[in-house]
């Protein structure tokens, strides 16, 4: 099923993100994670794509496992370091495997990579154009409530986002954020700029203090004082930190829903127990 239909037909959606293994030998472990997660009946599940594309086959394999588990898959696809031929062969493979949804991404710029005119793709909108021409896929895109780290400012970032959406994006998924006010401000800016596609709020349950440090550095997202205090208090107690992280993410989602945000995406970090506890904490709320 196309995600645009799911977003249209359901009052509330909660979806999960998983990542494929780095090595083929671990594919069975990831499939086990999927088989656990589908029990919570997420509205759809997305599977990330290795930036260089070398593990693209793993993404398709995991998308198939999600589909077999009775859940609609969303395949991520990055383009920056790929040729047009490579992208088209991945699109052929996804189409042949019945995948109907793609999150079209540029990908992060690898260390020591030099952007050049000779490259085929420079930005995600070029990939969106390519996918759109096939007239087969529902297309998602990434967006950044706290501004993409490469953008000079919010105005420039939103202008580029508008251009990307107008190329044929059906929905957006946000970078993780921990302060809902950032999301509400971003939603308002999108409305002003007439970015009218559904914006799915990306929530990352932080279950260990080391993980948060790395995630925050990579993503440019800020930590509210409330969350910093939780980390300081429980940094030496992994079980307490995990419990607090799950509760914080659950409360964030409840506040989003109370403010009319009906589409939530959980960055599960391949932890079925974490995803399950959040779903349990929301059971009456998401089935309202």
Q: Which residues lie near ligand FAD (CB under 6 A)?
A: 48-49, 51, 76, 78, 103, 105-108, 123-125, 142, 148, 150-151, 157, 160, 164, 173, 175, 202
What's the min distance (Å) between Cβ of 239 and ligand FAD? 29
Nearest to 281 by CA among 269, 178, 264: 264
Question: Would you say 262 and 13 are in contact if contact means Cβ atoms under 8 Å apart?
Answer: yes
Nearer of residues 49 and 234 to ligand FAD, judged by Cβ: 49
Question: Would you say 7 and 26 are in contact if contact means Cβ atoms under 8 Å apart?
Answer: no
What's the min distance (Å) between Cβ of 266 and ligand FAD? 12
Nearer of residues 84 and 233 to ligand FAD, judged by Cβ: 84
Residue 181 among the catalytic residues: no
What's the min distance (Å) between Cβ of 148 and ligand FAD? 4
Nearer of residues 37 and 105 to ligand FAD, judged by Cβ: 105
Q: From the candidates 17, 100, 126, 130, give the one annotated as an active-site residue.
A: 17
d(CA 131, CA 134): 6
d(CA 201, CA 261): 8
What's the min distance (Å) between Cβ of 163 and ligand FAD? 6
Question: Would you say 263 and 201 are in contact if contact means Cβ atoms under 8 Å apart?
Answer: yes
Instruction: Please give the backbone phi and psi of residue 190, each rounded to the nearest 5 degrees, phi first.
Output: -65, -45
**Taking CA 35 as the corner, what is the angle to CA 211 and CA 172, rounded to the nearest 5 degrees?**
60
Nearer of residues 110 and 238 to ligand FAD, judged by Cβ: 110
Enter the DSSP assignment of 113. Answer: -
Catalytic residues: 17
């Amino acid at each position: 099923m196309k995600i645009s239909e799911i977003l249209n037909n359901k009052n509330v959606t909660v979806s999960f993100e998983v990542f494929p293994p780095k090595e083929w030998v671990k594919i069975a472990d990831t499939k086990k994670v999927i088989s656990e997660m589908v029990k919570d009946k997420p509205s759809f599940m997305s599977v990330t794509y290795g930036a260089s594309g070398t593990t693209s086959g793993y993404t398709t394999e995991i998308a198939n496992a999600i589909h077999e588990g009775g859940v609609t898959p969303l395949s991520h696809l990055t383009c920056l370091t790929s040729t047009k031929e490579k992208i088209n062969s991945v699109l052929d493979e996804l189409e042949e495997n019945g995948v109907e949804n793609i999150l079209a991404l540029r990908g992060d710029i690898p260390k020591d990579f030099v952007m050049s005119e000779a490259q085929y793709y420079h930005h995600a909108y070029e990939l969106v154009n390519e996918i759109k021409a096939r007239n087969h896929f529902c297309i998602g895109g990434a967006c950044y409530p706290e501004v993409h780290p490469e953008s000079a400012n919010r105005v420039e970032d939103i202008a580029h986002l508008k251009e990307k959406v107008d190329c044929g994006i059906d929905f957006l998924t946000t970078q993780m954020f921990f302060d809902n006010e950032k999301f509400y401000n971003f939603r308002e800016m999108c409305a002003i700029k007439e970015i009218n596609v559904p914006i799915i709020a990306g929530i990352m349950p932080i279950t260990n203090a080391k993980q948060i440090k790395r995630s925050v550095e990579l993503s440019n997202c800020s930590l509210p004082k409330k969350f910093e205090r939780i980390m300081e208090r429980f940094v030496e107690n992994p079980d307490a930190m995990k419990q607090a992280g799950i509760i914080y993410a659950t409360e964030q989602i409840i506040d989003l829903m109370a403010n009319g945000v009906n589409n939530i995406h959980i960055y599960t970090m391949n932890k079925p127990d974490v995803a399950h506890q959040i779903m349990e904490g929301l059971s009456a709320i998401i089935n309202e």
